[in-house]
Amino acid sequence: MPRYLVERTFPDGLQIPIDDAGAAECLEIVDRNANRGVTWLQSYVQDDGSRTVCVYDAPSPEAIRATAAANSLPVDRITQVRVLDPYFYR
């Protein structure tokens, strides 16, 4: 499955609370993503919450865009990437 970086901008900041409600919101996103074979692996959030870089496994950029729309999430850029593990090289 291809891996992608998804860059997003949140002008008002990302608003996911760090509590049970936030956890439930994230799980709803995961469930909607699964409908199109998209797996959210992790996200890196800028300190002020205005930008994120998210890592996904997905069949295509179009599947990511469709799940972003279903989850009311912005998409600035999608880049296909591969993993380079520095500990792989000896």
Confidence of residue 87 (pLDDT cuts 50, 70, 90): confident
Supply φ then ψ for residue 44, to 5 degrees: -110, 125
Helices (H), ranges, 1-90: 20-34, 61-70
> What gap in Å lies between CA 55 and CA 42, rounded to an integer?
5
Q: Is residue 44 part of a domain?
A: yes
The answer to the question of residue 86 being in a domain is no
What is the pLDDT, as a whole number, of residue 8?
98
Domains held by the chain: number: 1
Q: Give me the domain span that covers residue 63.
A: 3-81
Give this prediction's pTM: 0.90
Residue 82, sorted as left (phi over 0), alpha (psi -120 to 50) or beta, turns out to be beta
In a domain, 55, yes or no: yes
Residue 13 maps to a domain: yes
Q: What CATH number corresponds to the domain at position 29?
A: 3.30.70.3090
Give buried/exposed letters for 60-88 (b at 16+ CB in 10 A, else e). ebebbbbbbeebebebeebeeeeeeeeee
Q: Encode pLDDT of 35-69 as tens digits.
A: 999 999 999 999 999 999 999 999 999 999 999 99
